[in-house]
Amino acid sequence: MNTAIKNNAYYANRVMWIGFSIALTTMVALFIAGVVIGNAGMAVMASSTGALLGAAATATHKVINKAK
Protein backbone atom coordinates (compact mmCIF):
# COMPACT_ATOMS: atom_id res chain seq x y z
CA MET A 1 0.00 0.00 0.00
CA ASN A 2 1.06 3.56 -0.65
CA THR A 3 3.01 5.29 2.16
CA ALA A 4 0.93 8.46 1.81
CA ILE A 5 -2.29 6.50 2.34
CA LYS A 6 -0.84 4.86 5.47
CA ASN A 7 0.23 8.25 6.84
CA ASN A 8 -3.19 9.76 6.14
CA ALA A 9 -4.93 6.86 7.87
CA TYR A 10 -2.61 7.17 10.87
CA TYR A 11 -3.26 10.90 11.33
CA ALA A 12 -6.97 10.54 10.63
CA ASN A 13 -7.18 7.91 13.36
CA ARG A 14 -5.38 10.16 15.86
CA VAL A 15 -7.48 13.24 15.11
CA MET A 16 -10.75 11.29 14.99
CA TRP A 17 -10.42 10.17 18.60
CA ILE A 18 -10.01 13.77 19.83
CA GLY A 19 -13.46 14.80 18.64
CA PHE A 20 -15.19 11.68 19.88
CA SER A 21 -13.52 11.87 23.30
CA ILE A 22 -14.56 15.51 23.75
CA ALA A 23 -18.14 14.68 22.75
CA LEU A 24 -18.25 11.63 25.03
CA THR A 25 -16.87 13.64 27.95
CA THR A 26 -19.58 16.23 27.38
CA MET A 27 -22.26 13.51 27.44
CA VAL A 28 -20.87 12.12 30.72
CA ALA A 29 -21.01 15.63 32.22
CA LEU A 30 -24.61 16.07 31.03
CA PHE A 31 -25.55 12.67 32.45
CA ILE A 32 -24.09 13.56 35.84
CA ALA A 33 -25.80 16.96 35.76
CA GLY A 34 -29.12 15.29 34.92
CA VAL A 35 -28.76 12.86 37.82
CA VAL A 36 -27.75 15.59 40.28
CA ILE A 37 -30.57 17.91 39.21
CA GLY A 38 -33.05 15.07 39.11
CA ASN A 39 -33.94 15.55 35.47
CA ALA A 40 -34.43 12.04 34.12
CA GLY A 41 -34.88 13.22 30.54
CA MET A 42 -31.48 14.84 30.41
CA ALA A 43 -29.82 11.74 31.86
CA VAL A 44 -31.57 9.47 29.33
CA MET A 45 -30.70 11.69 26.37
CA ALA A 46 -27.07 11.99 27.46
CA SER A 47 -26.67 8.23 27.89
CA SER A 48 -28.37 7.52 24.56
CA THR A 49 -26.22 10.05 22.75
CA GLY A 50 -23.12 8.67 24.48
CA ALA A 51 -23.95 5.17 23.27
CA LEU A 52 -24.46 6.47 19.74
CA LEU A 53 -21.13 8.30 19.88
CA GLY A 54 -19.39 5.13 21.02
CA ALA A 55 -20.89 3.17 18.14
CA ALA A 56 -19.95 5.86 15.63
CA ALA A 57 -16.39 6.02 16.98
CA THR A 58 -15.99 2.25 16.74
CA ALA A 59 -17.34 2.14 13.19
CA THR A 60 -15.13 5.03 12.08
CA HIS A 61 -12.08 3.41 13.68
CA LYS A 62 -12.75 0.14 11.85
CA VAL A 63 -13.10 1.92 8.49
CA ILE A 64 -9.86 3.88 8.98
CA ASN A 65 -7.97 0.74 10.03
CA LYS A 66 -9.30 -1.08 6.98
CA ALA A 67 -7.74 1.65 4.79
CA LYS A 68 -4.29 0.92 6.23
Number of domains present in the structure of the chain: 1
When pLDDT is cut at 50, 70 and 90, the band that residue 46 belongs to is: very high
Print the domain residue range for 49: 3-67
Q: Is the pTM of this model over 0.75?
A: no
Distance, in Å, from the CA atom of 68 to the CA atom of 65, rounded to the nearest integer, reads: 5
pLDDT of 27 higher than 70: yes
**Residue 13 phi, psi (nearest 5):** -65, -40
For residue 14, the one-letter residue type is: R
